[in-house]
Structure 1
Amino acid sequence: MSTTQSTNPAWSEADQADADQLRAIGYEPVLSRRMSGFGNFAISFSIISILSGCMTLFGFGMATGGPRVMVWGWVGVTLAVLLIGLSLAEVTSVYPTSGALFFMAHRLGGKGWGWITGWLNMLGLFGVIAGIDYGAAEFIGAFTGMAFGWTPDKYGLIAVFAGVLLLHGVLNSFGVKVLDLLNRVSVWWHLLGVAFIVAVLFVVPAHHQSASFVFSHYANSTGFKSAIYVSAIGLLLTGYTLTGYDASAHMSEETAQASVLAPKGIVRSIWVSGIAGLVLIVAFLFAIQGGDDNYATEAAGSGYGGSVTAPSLIMIDALGQHWAEILTLVIIVAQLCCGLAAIGSAARMVFAFSRDGALPGSPTWRKVNRSAVPTNAMWLVVAVAFVLALPSLWTIQAYGAVTAIASIGLAPAYVIPGFLRARQGKNFKKGAWNLGKWGPLVGYAATVWVVIETVLFCLPQAAPGTTALTFNYAPIALVAALLLSGVWWLVRGRDSYAPPAGSVEAEQFADLDVI
């Protein structure tokens, strides 16, 4: 049964303009355009989720440079990420499609650029979902330990993680209106939740750290001696947290006035998250009790990184168990909202990549259900995210590696469209939202940062970095994804991968079956 449709007389003028722009790009509308501009911003803001990334990697930050790197690294990396977002937003205005990054790269640089961008984007999205939902499972385990005396072992944690993924998959099956509503709730939960947590951390504790500790204290529990090296890998806290804003682009086929509101959603989600995240980090650092270096070591938890234990220890020490339980629940709800939005975004990307014939089994992954949701693609995302987290059963370094996978997959995919746009210079045909004469400079500057970031997050995160327990397997995952994409390209991809070159007839996509 076909889901394609011709011009709908019930559509508003704005809806019709969106549909016409999509057809001019080369796609017939098949998804339901029910998402508002605020909802588009909300999904990116929810995926960035400072209450997810900041909290789950807080212990990692305490071990890799401590407060000094956490605060000033956050400021610096936020500005760098904003450059990436500005550049991506400008290209999104011209090509507001679910495929987003890979389609932009294809149009601006050719088929090969589109192919590699799509595979990197997909790898990063799988990694970010595994990181978000595994982090949520860790916090659920911390809460059950405080409230009920049950702290899950590694097998129990994987089971909780699987349950979280399953919940997100089911909720994502109900259509974009449900996703839009939940993302709106998520924005206010994050903003009010951060305000509540910060207020409690400043008002309740009898003792606070000095400003000198918060803004200049250095701590190192990695085993490496070089402060420069340790500070560099410590930037992962911000680099991982400030990802996922490509969701605004992936949801553009379901957003009204997408050529303007999707770019705005990207940029707004970054700067709002940057400000709120800085406030949150500073509040937790001020609330730290006890000795400086001793606490930094304790916060690292059992084994290196112990990312979930640091915020829990801070809240218990500073506030007592009752307050710690309440604030942990606030964090858990935010993390669940984050994972829900991330799976929705990734499903659209996999759907769009399959629509263009890029994946093994593309006819299966590009199908949509009666609510116009790509459910097959969504369940594929859930399954791969689960597999990515399985190494946590054998190595304490797994969570850091998963977050690194997200960063080294997403960051290059984000910047390639901006780099290709910069390379075109004045020949680039700007959209309704653009950077004017600053576009090329912003694109090149963002590219320089991403090259540095990608190298940093492939480095060992603990010494010695070559043992089975401490090895950073993120580069292995990156190489494996690139090898798979290369093999599939040679076997079939170069023939099956066929993004539209321009305006097409609706019949070209008549085989997008409803399931």
Structure 2
Amino acid sequence: MSRVLSDVVCFRRVNGPNPPEDEINLAKLGYRQELKRSWGFFLNMGTSLGYIGIISSIATLYSFAFKTGGPQTILIGWLIVAFFSMSTCLSMAEICSAYPTAGGLYYWSAKLAGPKWGPYMAWITGWFNVLGMLTGSPATSLQVASILGSIIQIYNPDFSPSLGWLYGVAIAYAFIGSATNSIGEASLRAFTWIALVGISTGVVVIGVPLLVMSPSKASASFAFGTFVDLTGWDNSAIVFQLGFLLPMWCFWGYDASAHISEETVNADTTPAKSIIYSLVLSIALGWIFLLILSFVITDIDEILDCPYNEDLVCVYLQGTGGSKPMAFFLTLWTLFQFVFQNITGHNGASRGIYAWARDGGIPQWFAYVHPTSKQPLKTIWLHFFTTATLLLINFGSSQAVSSFSAFSTIGMYAAYTLPTICKLIWARDTFKRSKINLGSFSTIINLVAALWLVYMIVILSIPRRIPVTSSNLNLSPIMFVGVFLIINVIWFLGARKTFIGPRQHITAEEIEVLEKSKESLAEKEVVEA
């Protein structure tokens, strides 16, 4: 009851006639309050939890991981990557607490790198963040189409989805995400609550039937000791590390909490806490889910020879004693996990791209907030049309689209870590800590995060199959280097003269008015008391 009353008080304060503390702090960071500020901790955290979408993220690369290290790499690699990913997460949360803006990552790089290097570092960070979000969507959308095809195949084994069918389902999925984010703040809050509940209970809904119906359970030595290698590499250490792509792909998306900080109450603490809690919860839920999957598998060959689009369907069938109705239900619930991720993912991405447009990273025409719905409609639909366009590549090269998952992972982690690197190089002694901080451990955790980024770029650039052919070529390092070169060419050809980093969108006089209004409110509260 006390939490409900607190939320009501916060909501009234935010939407009342007097400017709240959050609005004044945002003004000091250079921005007016344009988006409606009414989100609390659970909705903010739920947005990141949904964007991570732990079950749907696992489902996207489970088949790859099973053939690239098997259960051993999946379970042990998950914990290794989780440990190092937390260094990135904690570093980001500390900076977010000091600079809670919708721009998030690029804004932080600009402020931490200082006036000389700030615009350039913001330019690099912003583009990797935006492109990371946009290129992750096509791979996820196609995965949804593939899973839907597997659901059909359970009762119609002869069904073989065409490229046109896959494209149609994929863009329909992307359309749902944009449409649900366009209809208004109140509806979006409701959808986010539904997504939060659905994702939080997903492991239980899938895991309990598997544990109850499984005719036998694998031993711990089988689950943690079975190594599968269909990569062609003759070096098990390399294969083990290639399997890290699964958790690396799963452990991003928590920047969504920063991107909706301008809509969140207590922005100097809530988004930072949400960043940490969403990843910790995702790590725990994901490992439990993978444990259950690994312990209900008793026949490796049956999974490797799975006739369906997705190996996960064969795991569900094996774990339910061959029950097609239950496997159908579990696969359908997995599909719903993608829908939950879709809604929250579009929310965080559209805000990040909106902020990028607001500061001139892309044409400011996109920095539009609808006066009634209070949603950045142009960036919401930019997300959809970009996804629909990139999906066309699948008609020519499915390998190119699948490489988007690795590129988006590299791009997002580069964007995640660049502010930390800026802090280490330019602001290690001048950074002003806010309420959420790492104390004396800040520098060492920042260093671990920076080194982890370098390691990730190397691992994700290694060929995933040997021998390398045109059909299995890992395009992600080519894409990463190509994008880096292109955004640098654009910078030196002209952007360096026009892009100044975060802009001042509010005057000192307006900030003074807000502060005086706050003082008047405080005096009024004292008198009334």
TM over 0.5, yes or no? yes
1:90/1:263 contact within 8 Å kept:
yes
- Do residues 318 (structure 1) and 323 (structure 2) align? no
**Residue in 2 that maps onto 1:4:** none
**Aligned counterpart in structure 1 of residue 74 of structure 2, from 70, 76, 96:** 70
Aligned partners of 1:487 and 1:393: how far apart in 2?
30
C-alpha separation between the residues in 1 aligned to 2:357 and 2:495? 11
Count of aligned pairs between the two proteins: 490
Q: Deviations over 1:271-309 (max 9, x none)?
A: 00001100101111111142x3x245325x68xxxxx51
TM-score by length of 2: 0.88
1:367 and 2:389 correspond:
no
Which residue of 1 is the match for residue 517 of structure 2?
Answer: none
- Alignment-derived partner of residue 177 in structure 1: 186
Partners of 1:174 and 1:221 in 2: CA distance = 46
- CA gap of 1:107–1:288, structure 2 versus 1, over 3 A, is same
Q: 1:422 Cα shift?
A: 3.3
Candidates 84, 101, 107, aligned match of 1:103:
107
Superposition RMSD on alpha carbons, in Å? 2.2
Query: 1:392 offset after TM fit, Å?
Result: 3.2
Equivalent in the alignment of 1:348: 351
What amino acid sits opposite 1:433 in the alignment? Answer: I
Larger CA deviation: 383-392 vs 187-196: 383-392
Aligned to 2:32: 28
| Residues 17 and 201 (structure 1), Cα distance of their counterparts in 2 relative to 1, 3 Å cut | same
Structure-1 separation of matches of 2:95 and 2:505: 19
Shift of 1:59: 0.8
In structure 1, the partner of 2:389 is 387
1:378 corresponding residue in structure 2: 380
Contact 1:34 1:176 in 2 (8 A): no
Structure 1 Cα separation of the partners of residues 394 and 504 of structure 2: 45
Q: Give the distance between the partners of 1:205 and 1:256, measured in 2 at CA.
A: 46
Shift of 1:399: 5.1
Match of 1:448 in 2: 451
| 1:298 partnered with 2:305 | yes
Q: 1:269-284 residue pairs with structure 2 within 5 A?
A: 269-284=278-293
Any gaps of 5 or more consecutive residues in structure 1? 1-7, 303-307, 509-515
Contact 1:85/1:266, CA 8 A, preserved across alignment:
yes
In structure 1, what is the Cα distance between the partners aligned to 2:55 and 2:209? 15
One-letter amino acid of the structure 1 residue matched with residue 80 of structure 2: G
Q: Which runs of 4+ in 1 moved over 6 A?
A: none
- Whole-Å separation in 1 of the counterparts to 2:149 and 2:291: 25
Deviations 1:106-131 (A, max 9, x none): 11011111110001111111122223
One of 141, 144, 148 as aligned partner of 2:152? 144
Instruction: Give the counterpart of 2:199 among 190, 195, 202.
Output: 190
Q: What is the distance in 2 between the residues matched to 1:221 and 1:16?
A: 58
Following the alignment from structure 2 to structure 1, what is the Cα–Cα distance between the partners of residues 216 and 401?
A: 32
Q: Cα distance 1:288–1:154, how it changes in 2: closer, same or farther (>3 A)?
A: farther
Percentage identity across paired residues of the two chains: 27
- Does the CA contact (< 8 Å) of 1:129 and 1:343 recur in 2? no
Report the Cα distance in structure 1 between the residues aligned to 2:386 and 2:215, rounded to whole angstroms: 46
**Deviation for aligned residue 1:210:** 1.7
- Report the secondary structure of 1:28's partner residue: coil
* Residue-by-residue CA offset, 1:320-343 (whole Å, 9 max, x unaligned): 211011111111111111022112
Given the two structures, how large is their TM-score scaled by the length of structure 1? 0.90
Deviation at 1:501, TM superposition (A): 6.2
1:19-55 Cα offsets, whole Å, 9 max, x none, are 1111101111111112211111001100111111111
Which aligned pairs between 1:428-467 and structure 2 lie closer than 5 A?
Answer: 428-465=431-468, 467=469
1:65 is matched by which residue type in structure 2? Answer: G
Rounded Cα–Cα distance in structure 2 between residues aligned with 1:191 and 1:357: 37
- The aligned amino acid for 1:276 is L
Equivalent of 1:225 in 223, 230, 234: 234
In 2, the alpha carbon distance for the partners of 1:392 and 1:211 equals 40
CA contact (8 A) 2:464 2:474 kept: yes
